Chain A
Amino acid sequence: MSAPLLEAKGLNLAFGAVRALDDVAIDIHPGEVVAIVGESGSGKSSLLRVLAGQMRPDAGTVLYRDPAGTAHPVHGMGEAALRRLMRTDWGFVHQNARDGLRMGVSAGGNVGERLMAIGARHYGGIREEATEWLKRVEIDPARIDHLPRTFSGGMQQRLQIARTLVTRPRLVFMDEPTGGLDVSVQARLLDLIRALVADLGIAVLLVTHDIAAARLLAHRILVMRRGQVVEHGLTDRVLDDPQHPYTQLLVASVLAA
């Protein structure tokens, strides 16, 4: 079996007396969708930020394996290398689309900018690819020159996804990608993410408190509580036969639709 893309061990992080991460280990393999679920304050967002190199743990290591198979310590590669990684092999989908988009740049520019960052120079080709991606995320290509601020919340989020996936990253971090959207908009977005991720075969690390979203998207689930991973495994096993009291509580708290 293939070696993991990302491999983290012994992660510890404390904010004063609060243990945000308590000896957390996680790995993610190429093409795998892994969800980290838990309530607010469980440490799941801290874990995502530590794994993506945005926050340094008090202890522990995060290794990223590049396409050539060389492992790099995420917290030892330097900011420039990390930024380059974020532009090429990695992507980050923020909960708030405004954090992932450039609001003063057109929709097409938002998508095209990522392509130019990896070396695309041909204007016509970039615009064509941006058009293609707007269609893929179900945005009318006629709006290619409009600013994202004229878009609805759901459209902004879909644009952020197009901007992130256009460079075909190997690993995408997603932080509550459907948070703050209307329920009907959430369903469409989730389905879009599901189809694109399966199509492109990218690995996704998804942080969510939405159990239904995790069931739809994830192959594997980690359940976090008070900085610890209390349960992990195959998505349907964890959700249909939860072992830990906290997982049972989480699953029992979901309204069946």
Chain B
Amino acid sequence: MSISESALWTEGLGKSFRLHLQGGLRIPVLADVDLAVKPGECVALSGPSGAGKSTLMRCLYGNYGAEQGRIWLRHQGAPVELTAADARATREIRRHTLGYVSQFLRVIPRVGALDIVAEPLIARGAAPDAARARARELLLRLNLPERLHHLPPATFSGGEQQRVNLARGFAPGYPLLLLDEPTASLDAANRAVVIGLIGEAKQAGAALIGIFHDVEVRDQVADRLFEVLPIQDAA
């Protein structure tokens, strides 16, 4: 696959953590990762627990700083090096291009579920009413009853919080979406909804990278696997 077709690609991406509070201990996690994803494609990261799949996702989102190598993505039609983007440029890339559904919702005190989902849409310039309508539609599709929409999700169950998180991630229609265990605490009916959302995002030309421990879900959504190996085995 040529790079020019990709929505996101990495070149020799490497990451280790240096723990200064533990005498400068260095923990290598990723080395020489060359990953490329095309628009309309869903790539599932595979590999044993602790291999660095979540670390790779966080690097791709700019949440962890890459130590070696580069991350590129297509942002508003042009290739942009995420690893060279400053904080403001990274925020801009996240606003328009790059979405991330983490395993856990980071709850904002006192903000209701509907507004949490509508917020990224408003940030990209949607009218608040249209953003809330879209948020409502997604929350209902994910079987979150209307009576919960205006409540802050702090008191919601794990599964309900994850569905709010998913609605927030899928609402804007990002061209690039990172999914970290999107179905981990969902029942079969909601898993099917998520599989449907992923399918529609691919249809719309989004590139997706996901970690799916649920093999059944993975087999239904992933076009291919990308193996992340523990670093001592990777050499």
Contact = CB atoms under 8 A, between A and B. Distances in A.
A27 B195 CA distance: 44
B20 A237 contact: no
Interface in A55-86: none
Interface string A232-250: 1110110011011100110
Majority secondary structure, B binding face: mixed
A209 interface: no
Interface stretch (A90-98, A125-133, A146-154, A186-194): A186-194
A195 B19 CA distance: 36
Contact of A240 (B19, B63, B86, B87): B63
Contacts of B109: 187-188, 190-191, 216
Interface residues of A, number: 25
B150 interface: no
Given A237-B63, A237-B65, A245-B21, A188 B110 contact: yes
A251 to B, nearest CB: 10
B110 A191 contact: yes
B88 interface: yes
B19 A248 contact: yes
A252 B110 contact: no
Given A188-B110, A194-B108, A233-B87, A249 B65 contact: no
Size category of the binding interface on chain B: 20 to 34
Contact of A220 (B17, B20, B58, B87): B87
B182 interface: no
Interface in B67-88: 86-88
Instruction: Give the interface centre of B21, B63, B87 by most chain A CB atoms within 10 Å.
Output: B87
Nearest to A4: B88
Interface string B1-39: 000000000000000011111000000000000000000
Given A241-B64, A245-B21, 18 more contacts: A188-B110, A191-B108, A220-B87, A220-B88, A233-B87, A234-B87, A237-B63, A237-B64, A237-B87, A237-B90, A240-B58, A240-B63, A240-B64, A241-B63, A243-B18, A248-B19, A248-B21, A252-B21
26 contacts: A1-B89, A29-B88, A32-B88, A187-B109, A188-B109, A188-B110, A190-B109, A191-B110, A191-B111, A195-B111, A216-B109, A219-B87, A220-B87, A234-B87, A234-B90, A236-B63, A237-B62, A237-B65, A240-B58, A241-B17, A241-B58, A241-B64, A248-B19, A248-B20, A248-B21, A249-B20
